[in-house]
Structure 1
Amino acid sequence: MRAAIGDEATGRAVNVVRLIEKAPESLRGQIVSAANSPLVQFEIGTVPVVDHASHDAKGATEARVRALLDEDFSREVRAELHEIDSSALPFTYLEPQMAEQHREMMRGQLLAVEMQLSIALTGGDWLNVSTRFERPPFQWPQFATLSFGLSAGFILLALFWYLLARVTGPLRLLADAAEKLGPEQCGPVLPTAGPREVKELIQTFNRMQDRIVRLVAERTRMLAAMGHDLRSPLTAMRVRSEMVEDDETRDSLIASIVEMQHMVEETLSFARGLADAEPRQSVDMETFLESLRESMLEGFALTQGGRAEVQLRPNAMRRALRNVIENAQRYGNEAEVSFAVEADTAIIQVRDRGPGIPEAELERVFDPFMRLEASRSRDTGGHGLGLSITRSILRGHGGDIVLSNRASGGLCANLTLPLEA
């Protein structure tokens, strides 16, 4: 505001100078009288009001005057700016009504600025310019303040209600779903809505619910399969135990008992969920895989893709990886293991060069006691629990295993693990 008023006064002074220079000397008084205003006063005198060289900030006022005048204007220009007490406003010569209006508008709360200009005219006279101005104070009428407060209050209340509904609505659905969740039933997948933290909470609940459902389904299938598959060896043991004196029968009985023991051991290990039996530890995957390779008789080719700390159960994960790697060595001639990190997931790939698995059977091989007769011999294979145990362990860690056939031949097992538990 001060700059605008000062520029306006400077520009008016330059215009008055141009008029006076071009008008007859007899009209100078009329020009000055017409240019006067309540806040800017002009007069022509033989003595300059500013009796010293300009000392305004960096000569800005003088420079502006010369810039507005003709380029050939070389006479002296003096300018002075200084603060005065606002009680000096307005000019003493103003009419009382005008002075009162000015005081009411300015409120007299801040220091005012007085600018004086003295511009030399032809003939030795000076044009003296005086102006006083103050930045108008901040004004906010009571009605506007009340209206703004009420409007802001209603807007904030509506915004708070909307944000509260965005948070409490999804949380209420989540609480209801958690209350209904149980081993016997599973509710629908909850829609992700609300703020980012609430969405993450709902997504975590959906993943937890899905894991519980898969866990119950796996245990149910396992128990049904165990009850079915144990009938034959138990029946054979009962029948042949009556003829224990015969060598052949004794050998057959021992073989059946051994088979039953192996089957029961693997089945119960799967049923108890060995992956949940030990606490999690922070393990460096590079060191972990190197240790696993050294502990296996045949070993395997290992390609590391970076270091990463993973929260896992070492014994359970060692068993899961051993199952997959031994399958690759047994049925695919060799195992090629690679490790890499993508985003927040550790990825372990186990590849072989065997015959692969039919596409329709890639998912079924994870069922307990599932065996593929075409590529899995009973003479060298187990009881069909290795991949089931592996998937159970990985899913217990929040990861998974996916099988796929390689374009160049063989099978690729893709094991994923979250870097954080």
Structure 2
Amino acid sequence: MRFAPQSLRAQIVSLVLVSLVIAQVVTLVLLEDQRDLAVRAAIGDEATGRAVNVVRLIEKAPESLRGQIVSAANSPLVQFEIGTVPVVDHASHDARGVTEARVRALLGDDFSRDIRAELHEIDSSALPFTYLEPNMAELHREMMRGQLLAVEMQLSIALSGGDWLNVSTRFERPPFQWPQFATLSFGLSAGFILLVLFWYLLARVTGPLRLLADAAEKLGPEQCGPVLPSAGPREVKELIQTFNRMQDRIVRLVAERTRMLAAMGHDLRSPLTAMRVRTEMVEDDETRDSLIASIVEMQHMVEETLSFARGLADAEPRQNVNIGSFLETLRESMLESFTLIQGDGVRVRVRPNAIRRALRNVIENAQRYSGGAEVSYASVADTVVIRVCDRGPGIPEPELERVFDPFMRLEASRSRDTGGHGLGLSIARSILRGHGGDIVLTNRSSGGLCASLILPIET
């Protein structure tokens, strides 16, 4: 199945073509069989008709003219001979007695003498007849294209006086032919059917399916694509309508969750600010510092929650950017620089602020846990992969996916003195997936962690 067509359109076209070829071959075989039977019947009718005429002439002519009549009646395909012994020397006639009945009907009802007929297949290595001239024999063999089997008919008719008229005729099965009109008919039929399939049926089926696939690929947590028009057969229409309803439910669900997070984060700001003011009035220094530290940590959590919500709800328009220049600008704007390995000048369509936030989160994680980050990028197939690598302690393999959960921290594998509330990678992945990409974490064999940010290249 490796070489089988993959697309629905190619599979349908291939199936139609194979079906047409099989139907055409079967039709030609059946026609060839009918042609074979027709040729046999025609030659048999001619031989029996000539035999009847010869019998009538012999019966009416003087005995001295019988030899001349037989010689005049002979042809390359039919041989006549008068003898005292019948060629068909047994009582078994042809299978259904058709030849005997035909001869007897032509001779008339008053003919009561014995008629014997026999049909059987013979090897054509004995053909053509030995009495044919060499050039005639060669022409005959070329015409029959080396067919191995032929049909021989032998007929013995009893004459008045006790002699027998022996008739022998042989005719090969006509060779298999592919007439030009069959090729033309096949081409016209296949062309018409494929034209109808391509411009009507396949367009009605694969067109809406392709639009559905594109809409599903572009569907992100922060955006709702246009409502797809219901087109095509009933099953395709039902599928598109189901997708539209699913898209609407997903977007409403994400929007409600985003609004809830944003509302919670916003509402927490006021009481935290009030608590911060009142904490300043605490006279005990140790207690005041402890409370302030807790409030500051809570404020950071609120800000990160709002940032996470904004990452889901961001409706920033996309721009075509050069990824190398984009990373260079990001490095210059960050407080702590990182090592940038220049690659190809590939361009991608992104929401710059969102991607900048995702990259900053990942790079700051690497800097926080290892003291530095090494960033490289390259185009792979139809994507651009930005790799952010560090030389920190890494992450246990079973936890490589769990770290993307909101508020998930793995202090057992990272420094206990580092900050963060476990939302940086969640925000980054949400942004990347909103672009149709993803983030994949892998541990380096030499130590450290690599985060691969994958973005599709859209021109």
Task: Tell me the TM-score normalised to structure 2 length.
Answer: 0.45
Task: Tell me the TM-score normalised to structure 1 length.
Answer: 0.48
